[in-house]
A and B are shown apart, each in its own frame.
Chain A
Amino acid sequence: MNAYQEFKTIGSRPVRPDGLDKVTGRARYGADLNMQGQLYGHVVRSPHAHAIIESIDCSKALAMEGVLAVMTGDDLVKPGDEMLGSGEGAMALKDFVPMVMSQGKVLFHSQAVAAIAATSPELAAEAARAVEVTYEVLPAVTDVHKALAADAPILHHDRFPDDYPEEPTNLATHISLTVGNPDAAFERADVIVEQTYSVPMCHQGYIEPHACVARVDTTGRTDLWCCTQGHFAVRHFTSAATGIDLGKIKVTPSEIGGGFGGKTTVYIEPLAVVLAQKAGRPVKMVMDRGDVFRATGAAPGAETRVKLGATRDGKLVAVDVDCLMDSGAYNGAPAAFPAYMATACYKFTDARSTGRSVYTNKPKIHAYRAPSIPQVTLGFELAITELAAKLGIDPIEFRLMNAVEEGDANMMGAPYKRIGLRECLEVARNHEHYKSPLSEGVGRGVAMGYWINAGMQSSATLNVSSDGHVAVLTGSPDIGGSRASMALMAAEVLGIPFDHVHPEVAPTDSVGHTDVTGGSRTTLATGEAVIRAAESCVAELCRRAAAEWGVEAGVVAWSQGAAHYGEHSLTFHELASRAGNMGGPLTFSSSLNSTSAAPGFAVHICDAEVDKETGRTTIVRYTAIQDAGKAIHPDYVEGQMQGGAVQGIGWALNEEYLYNADGVLQNPGFLDYRIPVASDLPYIDTVIVEVPNPLHPFGVKGVGEVPIVPPMPAIAEAVCQSTGVRFRDLPLNPPKIMAELVDL
């Protein structure tokens, strides 16, 4: 169990170490670094969603004054079947390299086909227009049902999923899991709900476009600066795409202006590196907003059929869920996630869970906060709510009657350890929000959600200065305040003030391998590395104190930032200042592959009012409740809960990719792809529940992703209660709502 029973530092809310630079404009993001003598890269993108490239002629562009390099897909590695990356960012090389730049076939509109490096951004853009590409245009398919039809254009003629070995198909993945005998179990059910629900494709919507600067010297040593959720992943992907040795590439992460999963891969970095190598000068590349929408991310749309059966007394006895997802142009939709996790909040004995993903002529989908789970959860949780209503049982009571607890297993088989779902549901049931009366016309919805949460590899190094200050280097880009968490945890173990700890995100050459900031893993796993390194520091300081006092190291105790034995004590500061004479500099590292992850659970309550004349939905009140294990910096735990809830609100009410028949995105900008703005929203109330994770030294559970899981079903139910109409297809924008209200 946890060695730390009472905390002095963690759980407090100090100002984050990187805050001052961010409120004064000094912080450097992806587009904020320039290298001496740099050129500017520009990407030539396909005007067609599906085509075969017949020829690319760059000669006119290359002849222009100030154009120093051009490249095409032939300049990248020819991909095979090997896998790249890990966790949410994992993919096959053949699904990655052509996504970065086409190698003969174009599979989505705005796919990169060539790139230019020139002495100014304007010149690079002009030269890009002079590249002549001839295409054989093929019919495009952007709808998953049409893509599965017998006469559909096939995107990949060389791919045969296991269940369809005879002929090529657009089915990318198909996974089905069964526990018990669900078909027989439905016979025992008194009440059955069977419905289909859908969620549109959307974008992560980070405000900072992708940006990088690359420099390659004549020996192939490469310096790459970019905004990313994982610079070790960038190094890996860039090496795989360019063929440059991994160890010759140094990646320095900039500050990152949002990612939400969308910056766990690379798009422009290998292009900048190839152009820099060809030109012999650094190359800077910045994506424009339209290209971010058209050619990065996005999150898959999904259609989920849910069939649930329960007995009259409220026991869920049979489950059958089938989630059909959009993969985009390459295999990226993690259809396995909904198959494994759709049922994860509920006890069951008989269940079937299926996930399928389908190739379409759209950008290869990528991770977005709890990838695939908000989509399947919309269906599952709304079906649960519909079932509870049929049974005449309060929706929270019904969930409490069937919620998983310690010892229960989900579709992945392993039983849960100590989880906090029931505690969250009890907080919701007893919350003043849930008990408060509703005004006329306002509806209320509740929903819950699960996310697996990752562990994975992390590293940390502590360097102690002679004045007792400590630099903490980690390999985790700080996307939402993780440096504050790292400093709090180091300060807790060492017993020194928070502001004596200086956390840094170190480049690939300066700290051990660290997987991406994703999977809600950073505070858990990188935090664990920081804790272990700090514990090594304490152990060494106790050894040094023991040697000074001529006693066994084992008898020296560390507390209040000092070593103690009997009357003797030596403070952290004293030991730091005398380090040179007591054994040398104090530096400590820890690297681990964390196995301490515990799943995240959340319950959200939403009150919404629909204007019956315009169809506009206003979120009147919103409460997010979540088990954080232990909140290291509560402000940033609340911030994750609020931010995730609001992304869910946007997805529920507005956000949607709109394609025309040719596969061209119709709303590639923040004006037409409308994410929530301040005036759309109320305050998002939060309740942090703390059921400590027994596997983690501080009890931490990942918090970042699960907050986006419950909002869509909670809001859809609130809209139903407000209008009296059951909506099962998102987004619930005014046209969709008015179409139903006018018919009434």
Chain B
Amino acid sequence: MNKPLNKMAVQATINGERTAFLCSPGQVLADVLRDELELIGTKIGCNTGDCGACSVLVDNRLVCACLVLAAEVEGKSVQTVEGIANGGELHPVQQKLLEHGGLQCGICTPGVVVAAKALLEHNPDPTEEQARYWLAGNLCRCTGYDKIIRAVLDAAKTMRGEAA
């Protein structure tokens, strides 16, 4: 029954810092972020890519960390919710979610923050419909999405330098 502890060494840039970690070949990125790197902001709601709570950016591409093998991020850049604020200064998406009350239980919030940031980098002036379709992969059971969408569109406005 005694199996060898088969671990791989992976180097990646995590939230701007050069990082090395050990993982087993089948381990997904979400587990490594949470269990090895203590980045617990990446949440696991389903482990099947259906809920979006584990949304992260890998080389600026929005992915579910539960569907990416940890070994796949070798040499890549990973951004999690912990890396979205600039030091003490919140990203406009984070700030506007707070101001609009765009969260209740908050379990989907990290994924929403990461996904919405990615949206506004792709499209600085999304319509309501574009925002709704972009965020369709982030399940929220509490809010009915109303205040989330308002917050994201308001953040877009702020980032474009327009008055609220």
Contacts and interface: CB of A to CB of B under 8 A. Distances in A.
Interface string B73-111: 000000011101100001000100111110111111110
B156 interface: no
A27 interface: yes
Contact of B144 (A23, A27, A645, A671): A645
A395 B39 CA distance: 53
Interface string A577-618: 000000000000000000000000000000000000000000
Contacts of A323: none
Given A24-B85, A65-B1, A683-B146, A677 B104 contact: no
A635 interface: yes
Interface residues of B, number: 59
A671 B48 contact: yes
B48 to A, nearest CB: 6
A684 B44 contact: no
A27 B106 contact: yes
Interface residues of A, number: 61
Nearest to B137: A677
A477 B147 CA distance: 22
Interface string B113-140: 1000000000000001101110111111
B132 A679 contact: yes
A286 B109 CA distance: 20
A65 B4 CA distance: 12
Nearest to A206: B141
Interface in A1-19: 13, 15-16, 18-19
Describe B's contact surface by its main secondary structure: loop
Given A207-B45, A639-B147, A25 B110 contact: yes
Given A23-B94, A678-B138, A208 B43 contact: yes
B104 A481 contact: yes
A675 interface: yes
Contacts of B138: 677-678
A627 interface: no
A480 interface: yes
B141 A13 contact: no
A659 interface: no
B50 interface: yes
Nearest to A22: B106
Contacts of A681: 132, 144-146
A643 B106 contact: no
B2 A670 contact: no
Given A678-B149, A681-B132, A289 B141 contact: no
Contact of A480 (B39, B40, B43, B104): B104
A614 to B, nearest CB: 18
A669 B46 contact: yes
Interface in A69-87: none
A374 interface: no
Interface of B: 1-2, 34-35, 39-48, 50-51, 53, 80-82, 84-85, 90, 94, 97-101, 103-110, 113, 128-129, 131-133, 135-150
Interface of A: 13, 15-16, 18-20, 22-29, 31-32, 34, 64-65, 204-209, 255-260, 286, 288-289, 479-481, 633, 635-636, 638-640, 642-647, 669-671, 675-681, 683-684
